[in-house]
Chains A and B, each alone.
Chain A
Amino acid sequence: MAQNEKPTEEVTPGEVAALSDSVIITQLSKLVSWGRQYSFFLYPFITACCGMEFMSVAGPRYDIDRFGAALPRFSPRQADLLMVVGTISHKQAPILVKIYNQMAEPKWVFAYGSCTVSGGMYNNYATVQGIDTLVPVDVYVPGCPPRPEMVLDGLIMLQEKVAREPEINMTRGVSPLGEADDRKIIA
């Protein structure tokens, strides 16, 4: 707008055309989901050989930073995506539940590799037969270990799920194993 021009109350068609290039009308919940889906903060709960493949995904060749999920947090309280990578034994189960319960809402769980999906080849006395017996899981990526492309595909599926969350109105409780009060978990 030129300096000498007097501002008016009315919006001219020219001004509407100019605004349409810079303003988007949406719902706040969709905007928030859009932000969340491209800024996952991971908590890598790595227990076994899948961890090597996770490093490959996180490293420069496959680079999960391209999808906004780059920064692993080393406190579950700062993370919103729990990556469970590797075999979970019965002895570790209370620790995984405690970590999950420490994460703030909203939070998602990524089951990385066959062992977390179903126990994998470890169908024995020591291994939890799928982490969904401990915590609610959002994405299952099988494989021993999964190819990095599969992990990226799983991550994109999770992003799509997060984008839909305002519509499907997801609620996410505590682990079926425990109450939110994590002081009780190990006792």
Chain B
Amino acid sequence: MGDMNEEKKIEQGASDSEVMARAKAVLGPMGVMIHTHSQHGDDTLVVQAEDILKVMEFLHGDEGLKFDMMMDLTAVDYLGAEEVHPYLKPMNARFEVVYHLYSVEKNHRIRVKAPLTEESPYVNSITGIWVGADWFEREAFDLYGVVFRGHPNLKRILLYEDFEGHPLRKDYGKMKRQPLIGPVN
């Protein structure tokens, strides 16, 4: 993503918060960002899924940002609603993995999103940076089928082993029922 258009998009804005300015200054030249926006004081970075570890290592380790706490990790299925974000359609993206980070020391937050396609819903696990991401990633895998590469124990966490499919995907029928589990069926 080193072409001129992409670099223009992540130029510094006059109204950027300190967090956003710092993130743009470092991540912009690395060519990992797709899009940024800020609404109601919430800063959001949309980054390439394959570069998620680079981004997270920077946000976690940078002296000025120090995002030492992973507040939340989940996924979103935009099937049939890809137009809500302008960057989804051009990438052929269906899912987004959404991370919310917080710095206890600096008292600031950031949201990081990584779009994924239906054909390759793979993203690297961030359990090596925040151990607490373990069960969040298992939940996103269980309900959305997003595969977190490098996760130490990626198996279903809420549903049972025999369950087929991922029920929070928009193409999982809302009235679809699976057989009761037990010794007989």
Is chain B a partner of chain A in the same complex? yes
Encode B91-123 as 1/0 by CB contact (under 8 A) with A: 000000000000000000000000000000000
Chain B facing A: main interface SS: loop
Residues in chain B near residue A129, CB distance under 8 A: 177
**Which residue on B lies nearest to A184, using beta carbons?**
B183
Q: Report, as a range, how many residues of chain B touch the other chain.
A: 10 to 19
Partner of A177, one of B160, B163, B176, B180: B180
**Which residue on A lies nearest to B185, using beta carbons?**
A177
Asked if B180 contacts A125 (CB within 8 A), the reply is no
Asked if B177 contacts A94 (CB within 8 A), the reply is no
**Which residue on B lies nearest to A125, using beta carbons?**
B167
| Chain A proximity of B125: nearest CB distance (Å) | 24
**Which residue on A lies nearest to B160, using beta carbons?**
A91
B184 within 8 A of A: yes
| Chain A proximity of B104: nearest CB distance (Å) | 33
B182 within 8 A of A: yes
Chain A facing B: main interface SS: loop
Query: How many cross-chain pairs have Cβ atoms below 8 Å apart between A and B?
Result: 46
Encode B170-185 as 1/0 by CB contact (under 8 A) with A: 0010101110111111
Residues in chain A near residue B183, CB distance under 8 A: 94, 177-179, 184-185, 187
Asked if A185 contacts B167 (CB within 8 A), the reply is no
A46 within 8 A of B: no
Taking each of B158, B163, B180, B182, which has the highest tally of chain A beta carbons within 10 Å of its own beta carbon? Answer: B182
Partner of B182, one of A93, A125, A126: A93
A97 within 8 A of B: yes
| Chain A proximity of B15: nearest CB distance (Å) | 43
Given contacts A125-B172, A125-B176, A126-B159, contact A178 B184 (CB under 8 A): yes
| Chain B proximity of A113: nearest CB distance (Å) | 19
- List A residues at the B interface (Cβ < 8 Å): 90-91, 93-94, 97, 124-126, 128-129, 133-134, 175, 177-179, 184-185, 187
